Chains A and B, each alone.
Chain A
Amino acid sequence: MAERTTMLRVDHLRKVYESPRGDVEAIGDLSFTMGAGELVCIVGPSGCGKTTLLKCIAGLLRPSDGVVEMDGVRVTGPTPSMALVFQEYGRSLYPWLTVRSNVELPLRHKKLPRARRDRLIDESLEAVGLAHAAKSHPWQLSGGMQQRVAIARAIAYEPEILIMDEPFAAVDAQTRADLEDLVRDLHRSRGVSILFVTHDIDESVYLGERVLVLSKSPTRVEESLKIDLPDDRDQITTRALPRFTELRTHVYGHIQRAKAR
C-alpha cells in the first residue's frame, strides 16, 4: 500500500475534566496520525475515554492540552470535513422528520443547488440500501436500519473523514455483520476515510487497515498495529484465517495488559 498523505494529526492530546471533587484525567497524552483514505479502528478497554477522544477530534470538546489538526488546520470546533455517527442512533436521528429529511437536514445550510442536494440524498440512501424507506420515519425502522440512516446522513454530508463511535454496539450480531460489510464497502467504493471506535476486538481487526490499541485511563496509544489481511474481506473466510486469529489474539493480549497496568 502506497504511503498516504497525512490528513488527521492528533498531537499530545490531553483532556482533564475539572470538578469540585478533584480533576479527572480522561486522556493522558495521546498522539497518532491518520492518512487520507485510511480505515483506522480504535479499540481499548471500556471506560478508557474513547468517546471523549472522538469528541475532541470532532471539535465538540475542547482539549485541555495538545492539538488536533485536519489537513494542517487546527480543529477548534465542528468542521464540515468531518461527519459523525453516534452509537445511540435512536437519539441521534430526529423522530419528527422522515428518513429523507433526516439525511437532508445537514445539507440545508450547504447552499447546494437543489438538484445536487437531491442527488446526494438519493445516492446515499441507495448506498446504504434504504432507497425504499425514504418516506418512513426512523422509529418505523429496525435498529440496524436506523443506523443505516445515520450512516447515509453522514456520507451525504460529503466529509473527508467519517467518525464512528461504537456505532454497532446496540444492534444484534447478524445485523452487525451486515453493517460491518457496509462500512467496508463504503470505504472502498467512496474512498472516504473512516475512524471507527469500538470495544469489540474482533470487529476492529475485521474492519481496520490499522488498529490503534488504547491504554486504560488516562489514555495513551498502546500500540498502532497494521492489519495485513487481504483487502477483500468476508465474514466467514476472513474470520477463519489463521492470521485473523493471530491478530485478534495479539490485540486481546495488549488490552488485557493495558487493563492490568
Chain B
Amino acid sequence: MSAAARIKTIVANLLFAAGLPVLILVAWNALAKKPDEAVGAEKFYPDPVTVGRAFADNWIGPAFAHEVLPSLYRLGIGIVVSIVAGVAAGTVIGLLPWLRELTEPVLEFFRAIPPPALIPIVMLLLGITDTMKIAVIVSGAVWPILLNTIDGVRATDSIMTETADAFRITRWQRLWYLVLPAASPRIMTGVRTGLSVALILMVISEMFASSSGLGYRIVYFQRNFLIAESWSGIVLLGLTGVLLAAIFGFAERRILRWYHGMLEVERG
C-alpha cells in the first residue's frame, strides 16, 4: 500500500469512528435549550456547549490535580492490588484441589455481597481515608479476577502438564512457563470485568465519604443545583472508562498475542 493510500484509509477510519459521536452531539444540541431560554425541567438538560464549558472550568487546570488525580490514584492502586491478589490467590487455590473445596462456599458468599453495602463498615474500620476507598474498590474488583484465575489454572491441559512432568520442569518454571500463560486468557477476561467494577466502586466510595475526587464533586454539584457541572463530571467518567479500556486493550494484545494468533489459525 502506498503512503497516500494508507493515509486515506486512516482518515476514512477516523471519520467512520467519529461519525456517530458527532451525530449524537448534533442531535443533543438541537434538542437541548440554551440556559437563558430554558424553562422548568428543561434546565436539567443543558446543551453540549454549556456542558463543555463547565467541563473546561471544573476539570482542566488546577482542578485536575485536586479532583481527578486523587480518583485516578485510588483507582490505579485498587486495580493493581486486585490483579496481584486475585491472580496470586487464584493460582494457589486453582492448583490445590483440597483448598478449592475448602474455600469455594466461602468465596461464593463473599462474592455475592454487593461491595457498596460494605462501605459503612469499611469506613468504621479504616476511617475516611484513601485506604478505605481502595479497600472498597478491591472488595469488588478482585472477585472476577480471582474466580477466573481459579478456573483458568484448573483447566490447564493434562498433556501439557504431563509434558512438564516428563521433562522434570521445576516448580517455578512450571508456574511461569505453563500455569500462568495457560490461564492468561481467562485471567484477562477477569481483569476486563474487574476494571469496570473498579470504576463503579471508585465513584461510589467517593460519593459516600470524601473531600475530593470525581464522585465527591459530582454529588457536590448536584446538591448545589450546578446541573451542567454535574453532567460534565459524568462525561469525564465516561472518558475515564474509555481510557481504561484502551490501556487494557493495549496490554491484552501484547499478552495474548499468541492466543489471538492461534484462534485465527484455528478458524482458518
Contact = CB atoms under 8 A, between A and B. Distances in A.
Interface of B: 157, 159-160, 162-163, 165-170, 173, 177-178, 181-182, 184, 258-259, 261-262, 265-266
A244 interface: no
A106 B181 CA distance: 17
Contacts of A97: 177, 181
B159 A105 contact: no
B166 A140 contact: no
A78 B165 contact: yes
Contacts of B182: 94, 96
Nearest to A79: B168
B77 to A, nearest CB: 29
A140 B264 CA distance: 10
A106 B167 contact: yes
7 contacts: A82-B166, A88-B159, A91-B159, A96-B184, A97-B177, A139-B258, A139-B262
A92 B163 contact: yes
A62 to B, nearest CB: 13
Nearest to A98: B258
A92 B170 CA distance: 17
A108 B181 contact: no
A109 B169 contact: yes
Contacts of B159: 86, 88, 91-92
B259 to A, nearest CB: 8
Contacts of B170: 108-109
A95 interface: yes
Given A91-B157, A94-B160, A95-B258, A60 B166 contact: yes
B166 A83 contact: yes
A140 B265 contact: yes
A60 B168 contact: no
Interface in A76-129: 78-80, 82-84, 86, 88, 91-92, 94-97, 105-106, 108-109
A86 B162 contact: yes
A30 interface: no
A213 B114 CA distance: 64
B161 to A, nearest CB: 10
Contacts of B168: 78-80, 106, 109
B167 A94 contact: no
A84 B166 contact: yes
B163 A60 contact: no
Given A88-B159, A94-B178, A140-B265, A58 B258 contact: no
A137 interface: yes
Contacts of B261: 137, 139-140
Nearest to B172: A109
A206 interface: no
A149 to B, nearest CB: 12
Contacts of A95: 258-259, 262
A105 B167 contact: yes
Contacts of A108: 169-170, 173
A196 interface: no
B40 to A, nearest CB: 61
A115 B162 CA distance: 28
Contact of A157 (B160, B162, B167): B167
A238 to B, nearest CB: 32
A73 B57 CA distance: 80
A78 B167 contact: yes
A58 B166 contact: yes
A114 to B, nearest CB: 17
Contact of B177 (A82, A86, A91, A105): A105
Interface string A45-64: 00000000000001010000
Contact of A139 (B160, B165, B177, B265): B265
Going nearest first, the 5 A-B pairs with the smallest beta carbon separation are: A106-B167, A91-B159, A96-B181, A96-B258, A84-B166
Given A92-B160, A96-B184, A97-B177, A78 B258 contact: no
